[in-house]
Chain A
């Protein structure tokens, strides 16, 4: 085995140990620190893996079970990083929740164990080379988070969790049917049937897969993984699950789960493109555009701060899906960058939204007023995060949206009009809601809360950095991944 390939295993074993360890001691007051330590160790392991990929190029373990290339390596690091910063936020947040009496020690134990379980499934889904395991990990992510969505056991949260469970379960079942069809098509092409679900083998044989079966398989996989991406009209579970669960879970669902589901979809598109031509791209463009427009309109109607930002997540996932659908080097590069910056920005926004809800004692937008007066750090955090997510320069989202608009202008000029209008409407929707929350007259019963603004500051600083200059190694990964996905790269 080539030495750097070993680095995959610690990255997966550490969270696995974390599940067991926190399953035992997750109720103690120090569990928050243990959670941070485990997440930090995972992050270090992912960095080690990334260094290996940087030095030696794509890695395939001897068992052929794990495959790390330029497309998933930065997503792995990003996932481990957001996992770590959210763990830092989660410690103070959950202690506060304990003090408010919203969670018992037993539920805290469940929460901590499942937090690591969720990270494990995310990292497994990203690093595996086997499309069957990818499915198992995606379903595992639902199973790990479903009890966390209903952690508060209010009727609303149980309803949200049930919806999440059934909708995502049904959706992901379609993806398994697609995977079976893909396996069926691959068996006629790949000689060794035990390797017929390995992505790198399938990629090498993609041009010979039967188009009729692949067409059917792609549609099922699009519907299946699309449900988890939150594409309209399969998005109903998303705002409920995001708003009713504990805020750290909203942050990782929005920042990580949606990304990983989109990653799975793009991997499948890479297999379908050679035989199906333009069809996969056009389907993704259609779903992406529909999600974008519907989410933008719904932004205006929200009365709950976490629902507001979960619709913003649907909007951005729609944009990314649209970008991958447009294809070509520029749009793909833009979509890859957008995945990174959206994940960082949105998780930081959920952190501040969680603090804001604690300050006001409610998630209702009408009850959250004058944050800048009550607790300036939270107010500014929310304001700057919203400025970033709305796509203002100099933040990274401006860069990726600008690139996406340019790419659309080149290949589908008339589609830039709905995109531009949508972005303006989204901007209006966000600021109309955020302005009174940040600047308005403070409510009398608002009280400052214990905050951990470190994740917010770090995330927003990174997004700012990515907006000003993309570091060389990251640009190289993006460029190479762009080449893998679209068949051409930026000059």
Chain B
């Protein structure tokens, strides 16, 4: 077995932790705990970015790390927390139906992600292969979270979790997108999270609940 550098070990460790938080999100039913897990995932991303910045000597990535920390570990979780309190959802827990099956499905999705990135193996190192597979898995798990949950807040966390997967891929496999793109994406994410907040209020006003299952007025044609 070839020796693995400390940097590689650290990145793989962080990748594993990011993936773990995604699984934890799927298993978590309480709102506050969900948001806290999301904040932890954001923190892990910021640490990854800072590590990459340090190893590759790219000072601009430190800015990106700070931005990530501020936005995804502090601002958005704080904002979501406030919304949950304002909407009085503190004590709500979601009923998780067939959760062991969902978690098994999540494991299958992770294996599938590894299978999909197999063709890239030849041209790349251990780090990139694992990183791309893990980020694809995080994106798919976020998608799964959106599909299986019924509360609007959880769906938003799933949405943001997908975005984290994307960001992880960009940082760890390509050492960050160009700055202007990164700023643009951060702006979009910020606006999206504010709009989600506005939507929560609208949804609650119109259907007296944040169960998106009740949003079922629009149907096809004749019925």
Are A and B part of the same complex? yes
Q: Let me know if A102 is at the binding interface, CB within 8 A.
A: no
Check B195–A146 contact: CB distance below 8 A.
yes
Check A216–B119 contact: CB distance below 8 A.
yes
Q: Let me know if B127 is at the binding interface, CB within 8 A.
A: no
Contact code string A102-136 (vs B, CB < 8 Å = 1, else 0): 00000000000000000000000000001011011
Q: A177-B166, A212-B119 are in contact. Are A302 and B221 (CB under 8 A)?
A: yes
Check B163–A132 contact: CB distance below 8 A.
no
Query: A387 to B128, alpha carbons, bound, how many Å?
Result: 55
Determine the residue in chain A with the shortest Cβ distance to B147: A170
Q: Which residue of A169, A174, A193 is within 8 Å of B159 (Cβ)?
A: A169
Q: Which residue of A161, A180, A301 is within 8 Å of B222 (Cβ)?
A: A301
Determine the residue in chain A with the shortest Cβ distance to B156: A166
Query: A136 to B70, alpha carbons, bound, how many Å?
Result: 20
Query: A301 to B220, alpha carbons, bound, how many Å?
Result: 7
A145 to chain B, nearest CB (A): 11
Query: A392 to B179, alpha carbons, bound, how many Å?
Result: 50
Residues facing A in B198-223 (CB within 8 A) are 198-199, 202-203, 205-207, 212, 215-218, 220-222
Check B199–A162 contact: CB distance below 8 A.
yes
Q: Chain A interface: which of B11-19, B45-53, B87-95, B186-194?
A: B186-194
Residues of B within 8 A of A139 (CB): 188, 192
Residues facing A in B130-161 (CB within 8 A) are 132, 135-136, 139, 143, 146, 152, 155, 159
Q: What DSSP secondary structure best describes chain B's contact surface?
A: helix
Check B203–A177 contact: CB distance below 8 A.
no
Residues of B within 8 A of A196 (CB): 178
Contact code string A151-195 (vs B, CB < 8 Å = 1, else 0): 001111011111101100110011011001101100110000110
Q: Let me know if A210 is at the binding interface, CB within 8 A.
A: yes
Q: A166-B155, A216-B119 are in contact. Are A140 and B188 (CB under 8 A)?
A: yes
Check B195–A187 contact: CB distance below 8 A.
no
Q: Which residue of A154, A166, A170, A244 is within 8 Å of B206 (Cβ)?
A: A154
Residues of A within 8 A of B187 (CB): 136
Check B139–A177 contact: CB distance below 8 A.
yes
Check B143–A155 contact: CB distance below 8 A.
no
Check A176–B199 contact: CB distance below 8 A.
no
Query: A162 to B195, alpha carbons, bound, how many Å?
Result: 10
Contact code string A203-223 (vs B, CB < 8 Å = 1, else 0): 000000010110110000000
Check A216–B123 contact: CB distance below 8 A.
no
Query: A173 to B146, alpha carbons, bound, how many Å?
Result: 13
B45 to chain A, nearest CB (A): 14
Check A161–B188 contact: CB distance below 8 A.
no
Residues facing B in A386-435 (CB within 8 A) are none
How many chain B residues touch A (Cβ–Cβ < 8 Å)?
Answer: 52
Q: Let me know if A298 is at the binding interface, CB within 8 A.
A: yes
Q: Let me know if A447 is at the binding interface, CB within 8 A.
A: no
Residues facing A in B94-129 (CB within 8 A) are 116-117, 119-120, 122-123, 128
Residues facing B in A199-256 (CB within 8 A) are 210, 212-213, 215-216, 240, 244
Q: Let me know if A261 is at the binding interface, CB within 8 A.
A: no
Check A303–B222 contact: CB distance below 8 A.
yes
Query: A242 to B198, alpha carbons, bound, how many Å?
Result: 21
Query: A188 to B125, alpha carbons, bound, how many Å?
Result: 13
A358 to chain B, nearest CB (A): 21
Q: Let me know if A313 is at the binding interface, CB within 8 A.
A: no
Determine the residue in chain A with the shortest Cβ distance to B220: A301
Q: A147-B195, A162-B203 are in contact. Are A130 and B178 (CB under 8 A)?
A: yes
Residues of A within 8 A of B181 (CB): 130, 132-133, 135-136, 197
Check B119–A132 contact: CB distance below 8 A.
no
Query: A166 to B192, alpha carbons, bound, how many Å?
Result: 10
Q: A176-B185, A177-B166, A212-B119 are in contact. Are A132 and B177 (CB under 8 A)?
A: yes
Residues of A within 8 A of B3 (CB): none
Q: Let me know if B39 is at the binding interface, CB within 8 A.
A: no
Q: A130-B181, A176-B185 are in contact. Are A210 and B123 (CB under 8 A)?
A: yes
A364 to chain B, nearest CB (A): 12
Check B188–A143 contact: CB distance below 8 A.
yes
Determine the residue in chain A with the shortest Cβ distance to B116: A216
Check B162–A158 contact: CB distance below 8 A.
no
Q: Let me know if A352 is at the binding interface, CB within 8 A.
A: no
Residues of A within 8 A of B146 (CB): 166, 170
Q: Let me know if B173 is at the binding interface, CB within 8 A.
A: yes
B148 to chain A, nearest CB (A): 14
Residues facing B in A248-275 (CB within 8 A) are none
Q: Let me know if B180 is at the binding interface, CB within 8 A.
A: yes
Check A213–B195 contact: CB distance below 8 A.
no
Determine the residue in chain B with the shortest Cβ distance to A63: B180
Residues of B within 8 A of A147 (CB): 195, 198
Determine the residue in chain B with the shortest Cβ distance to A160: B218
Q: Let me know if B27 is at the binding interface, CB within 8 A.
A: no
Check B195–A165 contact: CB distance below 8 A.
yes
Check A298–B178 contact: CB distance below 8 A.
no
A77 to chain B, nearest CB (A): 25
Q: Which residue of A140, A156, A188, A197 is within 8 Å of B218 (Cβ)?
A: A156
Between A and B, 21 residue pairs with Cβ closer than 8 Å are: A143-B188, A143-B192, A147-B195, A150-B202, A162-B152, A166-B146, A166-B155, A170-B162, A173-B139, A173-B162, A173-B163, A180-B174, A180-B177, A183-B174, A184-B128, A196-B178, A197-B181, A215-B119, A216-B119, A301-B220, A301-B222
Sort A-B residue pairs by CB-CB distance and give the 8 closest, nearest first.
Answer: A132-B181, A301-B221, A136-B184, A212-B119, A159-B215, A155-B206, A139-B188, A156-B217
* Interface residues in chain B, defined as those with a beta carbon under 8 Å from any beta carbon in chain A: 116-117, 119-120, 122-123, 128, 132, 135-136, 139, 143, 146, 152, 155, 159, 162-163, 165-166, 169-170, 173-175, 177-178, 180-181, 184-185, 187-188, 191-192, 195-196, 198-199, 202-203, 205-207, 212, 215-218, 220-222
Q: A130-B178, A184-B174 provided; 14 other pairs, C-beta below 8 A? A: A136-B187, A140-B191, A143-B192, A155-B207, A158-B203, A170-B143, A170-B162, A180-B166, A184-B132, A193-B175, A196-B178, A197-B177, A216-B119, A303-B222
